[in-house]
Every structure is written in C-alpha cells, then in structure tokens.
Amino acid sequence: MTQPISRRHFLNLVGAAGGSSAILQTGLALGLLPETGPLALADVQPIGRASRRILILGAGVSGLAVAYELERKGYDCTIIEASKRIGGRILTLRSGDEVDEMGYRQVCEFDDKPNLYFNAGAARLPGHHLHVLHYCRELRVPLETFVNDNRNAYTQDDKAFDGRPVRVREYATDARGFMAELLHKAVDRNAFEMPLSEDDRERLLAFATTYGDLTADGRYRGSERAGYKSGGFVSHGEIKEPLDFTEILKSDFWRYRMHFSEGGDQAMPVMQPVGGMDNIVRAFVKNIRSPILTNAQVQAIQLRNDGVEVVYNHRGKQHKVSGDYCFNCIPTHLLSGIYNNFSKEYAATLATLERGHLFKIGLQMKERFWENDNIYGGISWTSQPIEQIWYPTHGIHSEKGVMLGAYTFREEHGMMFERMNPRERIAAAVAQGERIHPGYGSYVEAGVSVPWARMNHMMGCNTRWNDELQGSKFRLLQDPDGRHYMMGDQISYHSGWQEGAYASAHHAMGDMDRRVQAELAAERATG
C-alpha cells in the first residue's frame, strides 16, 4: 500500500533532484515558504576532482563571500587586497583603530569598551536584505534591532522656526493635521475631478479625520500625537498648540527627511550586528581557508581566452598569477588607473562611473545626554552640512555612547568636510550639533571622521549611477568581460548597500557556475 507523501517529504525529494532553488520554487508554490522575495543564492555545483583557480580582487564583503562559497565547492581561491585591512566599506572603529585617510592618518581615541564603537561604513540591515541576513544566520553573527527613526528626535532648519529644533513628533503630527484638514475641506466642497459617491465621501472624510486627528468639524486643533505640553499622567494632559503651518512649509524637512524612514530600505525595523558591523567580516575570515593577501596592490588585469592574468605588487616584489576566472570588486573609479585589456565598451563604461563623497563622523560622548531628553536611538535631521545625527541604540543607560555626528548625503556637504582637516571637521560638527542640543560640545570626548572619497585604496563611496546610465550600461558591467566579473555593491541597483554586494557576487558566481559545468561536461565528453 502506498503511503501518502507529506509535503515536507515531497520537498526533500525535489531538493535531491533539483537543488535548493527548486525547493524554494516548489515550496513557494505549495505555500510552505514565506514569500519574502526570492533569495537568489547561486547554487554553485561542486567541481569534484577538477581544478579551477579563482582570483578575487578586493577583500570587501563581495570578495569574501565569493571565496567562502567557491572554496566549499572545490575551487582554489586567492583574495588580493590592496589595503592592509579586510572588509572594504564595512568599517567599525574602536579604541586605537587607525583611520587610513590620505594625508590625514587618524587614530580612534574612543575608550576601550565594547559598546563604544562606530560603524563608519555600512550600518543598517533591513529585514528584506536576504543575502546579508542569510550570512548573519549561517555564520552566527548575532543581530539586534537598530532604531532608525525616532519621533522624539529633532528636526532643525535654519529657514524655519527661527532655526530652533522642533521634535519630529510635533512637526510630523502638525504637518499631517494641516494636510488632513485641507483634504477634509476639499471633500466638503466636492473639489475633486472624479465624482464621489456618498459612501466614498463619508469614508474619505472619516479617513481625513483619523489621519490628521481632526475635530468633529474637520479642523486641526492639535493632537496628543504631537506630545503634551504638560500633564498626562497624574493630571489632565494639555496638548500643544499646533506649530505655525507656514513655518512647517518653510522647513525643508518635508522634502525627504520626514519620509526617510518610510523608504523601502530604511523602514523600521532594521538591524545591526551586536558589537559592530565588522563582526560579519570577522565571521567570514574565520570561515575562509583561502589565502587573503593584504597590502597587495593590483597593477594589471589581462584577459586571456582561457583565463585571467593579474599582476600585483606585494612586499616590494611584483607577482603575476593566473586564474581560470576573476571576480573583481576593486572600486570602478580606481580601475582606470590600473592596466587592463578590457574590451573597449566595458572599459569606457567603467570610466564613466564617478565616485561618491559620503562622509561620516563618530563622536564619543561622556554622557548619554539624549536619553535625558527622551531620545533612545534614531535620527535628528538638520539643514546644516552635518545633515543628521544618530543616537546609538546599543548601550542604553550605560555611562557613555558613540553618536554619529554627521552623515552627508549631499555631495557638496561631503566635499566641504573633505577639504577640512580632521580637527576642523570635528569642530564644525560640534558647532552644528549645538544648534540641536545646546551644550553638545561639552560632552564630546573624542571624534573620528571618515571621508570615503579620501580613504586609502577606496577613494569614493558610493558609485554614482544615474537612471540613464543604469538603463543603458548596467547589464554590460554585470555581464562578464571574458572570464572577468565585476561585482560588489557598485554592480547592483543597491550601490552603497551591503546587500547589493552579496547579490552581485551571487549573480556573478551563478553565471560562472553554468560556464564551469559546461566546460566540465565538455571535458568529460572528450576525455
């Protein structure tokens, strides 16, 4: 008698026949697996007794992931890294760490305590960044929630409210209240191009009332969402007077910052590794057997019909190595300074990608003063060049904390800080922080600045794709040139995100795997 086959057992059979991606697809169809978006891990096949040599240029996380995956499938991998540090733009600064900036070598002077660290590069892991979360799970890197948005934090704009900081809670609630009131009035006057049914009208009025916390007659008169002026626990809570709507409009906060934490990659919750982002790098290094050569600067990349040849300098000598395939995460803007024989269009496209100028400052504060101001994690935003300050989520109620004192998205702000020396940068960040938190400077014990466009062997972050260039040229760089694959977050639609690096690495490995399997099949046929 035939036993009925369980769905779980069926999946195991599918897996045996078709590999993990077949399980995933079938599981999705059977409704057994959550559909959080496909995790496109390359299903690289072991190469058995065959041998294949892989050259990996750059020990950023895409390079580390390639070595980790391919060495487990029998590939012979070597990582060649120009700098003395492994991890690329995963950079966690702690007591005594060197900041290898061109011309301005800094030493991080934070206290030597586990919670006093600064993620100067990648810092946030959203729940749908499946590759990086996969590796955190597989490599046992503990994660914790990272508070990326805080209504109790401030928005400060020189053009509004006389430059005074305003709680995000107040600004956002009042802005919504006023917008809801306008919507309510528009419905009342039937000011829509589309005729509304009576039911629609009623629902829309109710929506506006709830959305903006309006009075019964559709007016915005303030809301407890904005916080109480006084009372609320043992006495009646007095709600605040709404802010002046024209001041709300004058501030640039609504342009994107107010909605920043609604972004696909920024929406709460997001995560961070416990103890620093570089725990991911450490976990990779611990689990990789392949040699990782540091201080090994690539001089030339030569594509051949049967492989790729790489020349690099190491310990005062020049070396030439060949591989069957090459995976390259060297920043695209540095490749124009390295000899290569890439095909014309490939090289020309690489030469159009300009470098970004992201910039961060970390400040050790002797006291967690923000917690006395009801702020636990999150971001305050300002129109000043520092643009934002972050309050650390970890180490709540401990003695000290490391804040992010600047993170510039606008290129002119990043470049402005690049032109200062480290001391001037900290002074500028402190002066600007004072506008949000009076007395800010009195808490600062140590500061580090990381201008990515001046960091040795890096000289930029992130890659400046524009829509047009991405539309016309992205595939060209995503595809291999001969046996050479460009990769990293720079070859993804998520430049500047760690997830982009892994996704691009897996895309490249998947392509190579198909080629190697075809080569091995051909060898078996002729052999």
Partner 1 sequence: MAVNRIACLLLFALALAVPLACADDKPVIPPDKFVYCTVCHGVQLKGNPLIEAPRLSGMDEWYVERQLLAFKNGWRGTHANDLVGMEMQPMAAILTDEDITQAARYVSSVASEPPPATIDGDVQRGQSLYATCLACHGNNGGGVEALGAPALTGLNDWYLLRQTRNFKDGTRGSHEDDIRGAQMRAAAQVLADDEAIRDVVAYINTLQNR
**Site residues, partner 1 (CB under 8 A):** 82, 102-104, 297, 299-300, 302, 311, 313, 316-318, 333-334, 336-339, 341, 351, 353-355, 415, 418-419, 421, 454, 456-457, 459
CB of 319 to partner 1, least distance (A): 11
- Cβ neighbors of 455 (< 8 A, separation 6 or more) are 99, 100, 101, 102
Q: Closer to partner 1 at the Cβ: 101 or 387? A: 101
**What is the CA 298 to chain-centroid distance, rounded?**
27
In the complex, minimum distance from the CB of residue 199 to partner 1, in angstroms, rounded to a whole number? 60
In the complex, what is the shortest distance from the CB of residue 294 to partner 1, in angstroms, rounded to a whole number?
A: 12
For residue 65, the minimal CB distance to partner 1 (Å) is 24
| Nearest CB to partner 1, comparing residues 143 and 416 | 416
Question: In this structure, what are the phi and psi dihedrals at residue 11, rounded to the nearest 5 degrees?
Answer: -65, -40
Evaluate whether 53 touches 327 at the Cβ level (below 8 Å). no
**Based on C-alpha coordinates, what's the Rg of the chain?**
27
User: CA 440, CA 417: separation in Å to the nearest integer?
Assistant: 19
Q: How far is the CB of 191 from partner 1 (least distance, A)?
A: 50
* 276/496 with CB nearer partner 1: 496
Residue 243 in 3-state DSSP? coil
Q: Report, in Å, the least distance between residue 448 CB and partner 1.
A: 16
Q: In 336-486, at which residue ranges do the beta strands (DSSP E only) sit?
A: 339-340, 354-355, 359-365, 378-382, 388-391, 401-408, 444-451, 463-464, 484-486
Shortest Å, Cβ 100 to partner 1:
9
Helix, strand, coil percentages (3-state) for the chain, rounded to 5, are 35, 20, 40
Specify the residue, 102 or 476, whose C-beta has the smaller distance to partner 1: 102
Nearer Cβ to partner 1, position 257 or 355?
A: 355
Stated as kind and residue range, the H or E segment containing 98 is: strand 98-101
Nearer to partner 1, 320 or 515 (CB): 320
The tally of CA atoms less than 13 A away on the side-chain side of residue 213 is 16
Distance of closest approach, residue 388 Cβ to partner 1, in angstroms: 24
Instruction: Provide the 8-state DSSP code for 402.
Output: E
| Shortest spacing between CB 31 and partner 1, in angstroms | 49
* Residue 122 backbone phi and psi in degrees, to 5: -55, 140
Residue 318 or 517 with smaller CB distance to partner 1: 318
- Alpha helices, H only, 72-158: 130-138
* CB of 100 or CB of 213, closer to partner 1: 100
* Cβ atoms of 385 and 360 closer than 8 Å: no
Pairing of strands 317-323, 307-314: antiparallel
Closer to partner 1 at the Cβ: 102 or 267?
102
